[in-house]
Amino acid sequence: MTEPLFGTDTEIEDELGVMGIERSELYIPSSYGITELDRYQPYSGEYYMVKKVLERRFSGVDVCELIEDNR
């Protein structure tokens, strides 16, 4: 689980450390079969809800947009 990174490579003229602070992303193997509205709990004990699953960004890896889960 991490903040989303914008772009795939760093150029010298770009600002370093530009990250979204309102959402998190989870990189998880496609074999887990994660779907929207699933709940994710990292070791910290907080709960997150899967808002969107991006299945084809990386081979064999799903990228999930997470939001805080208040259920």
The CA R_g of the chain, rounded to the nearest whole Å, is: 13
Residue 2: inside a domain: no
Does 39 fall in a domain? yes
CA distance 65 to 43: 18
Q: What are the tens digits of pLDDT across the range 18-34?
A: 444 456 899 999 999 99
Q: Is residue 50 over pLDDT 50?
A: yes
Structure tokens at 38: 């699933």
pTM of the model: 0.68
In a domain, 16, yes or no: no
Q: Do residues 49 and 68 touch, judged by C-beta distance below 8 A?
A: yes
Is residue 8 a part of any domain in this protein? no
Give residue 64's pLDDT.
93
Distance CA 54, CA 26 (A): 10
Whether residue 60 lies inside any domain: the answer is yes
Q: Is residue 44 part of a domain?
A: yes
Domains: count for the chain:
1
Give the range of the structural domain holding residue 40, as residue numbers without chain letter: 24-68
Answer whether 28's CB lies under 8 Å from 48's CB.
no
